[in-house]
Structure 1
Amino acid sequence: MPDCSENYEKEISEGKNVRNVMCKYCNSVILTPSSASFTSFEYELPLIRQSKTNDQNPKTENVSLFWAVNDMFTFQNVGFSNTVGNNKYLTCADCEAGPIGYHDMSNKMSYVALTRVIHN
């Protein structure tokens, strides 16, 4: 598993999420236990809660640890943005914080960044 600022090993068992995956801002449940698979790859995701005046050139960060979800109906409380390129960004459906991840239109997979959520 790649090094990261937090130790996420305790959140993964048999490649799945052990606990609820929740919004950092409102504690809304996004995924229930064992509903997503851990995966790791590099992706440049826009920062959370930045000014809408920056829509054309949003600030981004490289994210590499994700919960992969292959069916959008697996989510408990997630909103999908309008299509941007080949993706839709994921937000908390309750407080609209995001993006917490993205949905890839080409393979119909959704990816929630571990650093953008809490586990409880």
Structure 2
Amino acid sequence: MTEEAVFPDQIVDGKNKTNVRCQFCNSLMLKAQEGSYNEQEVDVPLMMQKQDRTAEDLNTESLKHFWLVKDMMTFENIGFSHSVNGKKFLVCADCERGPVGYHDLTTQHCFLALKRVLHKDS
């Protein structure tokens, strides 16, 4: 299935059609046309965890659809977690909810999960 079939309203010419915002506080994370669609299967920690979990013992979900952002300075508002297994997880810089994606420490690229953000201009 092509990316246009999975997310027809969000992708135009392989880029994010609209602004990308936090689903909790509506903070602008990424401006339109700044992220490139990227498909890969990655386990990302669930947004809600039991408090007694360690970084190595987190419940995860497999996510497949991401906005690839090659330069972290492209973001409008994004925060980074501590390093865990070669990754830093991305959170909203305003409300600190997440993770909404991850930063690969090897490539220095960021991957923002389409499933965990809102796509709207205002």
Q: Normalised by the shorter chain, which TM-score bucket? A: over 0.9
Q: Could you tell me whether the CA contact under 8 Å between 1:49 and 1:97 is conserved in 2?
A: no
Paired amino acid for 1:72 = M
Q: How many residues align?
A: 118
Q: Which moved more, 1:63-72 or 1:50-59?
A: 50-59
Residue 33 (structure 2) pairs with residue 42 (structure 1): no
1:3 shift after superposition: 9.6
**SS of residue matched to 1:115:** helix
Aligned position for 1:111: 111
Mapped partners of 1:3, 1:15: distance in 2: 9
Q: CA RMSD in A?
A: 1.6
Residue deviations 1:20-70, cap 9 Å, x none? 100010000110000000011100000003233112411110000000000
Aligned position for 1:95: 95
Aligned position for 1:65: 65
Mapped partners of 1:49, 1:90: distance in 2: 14
Q: TM-score, normalised by structure 1?
A: 0.92
Structure 1: segments with no counterpart, 5+ residues: none
Q: TM-score, normalised by structure 2?
A: 0.91
Residue deviations 1:59-94, cap 9 Å, x none? 110000000000000011100111111110000000
Percent identity among equivalent residues? 41
**SS of residue matched to 1:106:** coil
Instruction: Please list every run of at least 4 consecutive aligned residues from structure 1 whose deviation after the TM superposition is greater than 4 angstroms.
Output: none
Tell me: CA distance 1:58–1:3, structure 2 relative to 1, closer, same or farther (3 Å).
farther
Q: Could you tell me whether the CA contact under 8 Å between 2:21 and 2:29 is conserved in 1?
A: yes
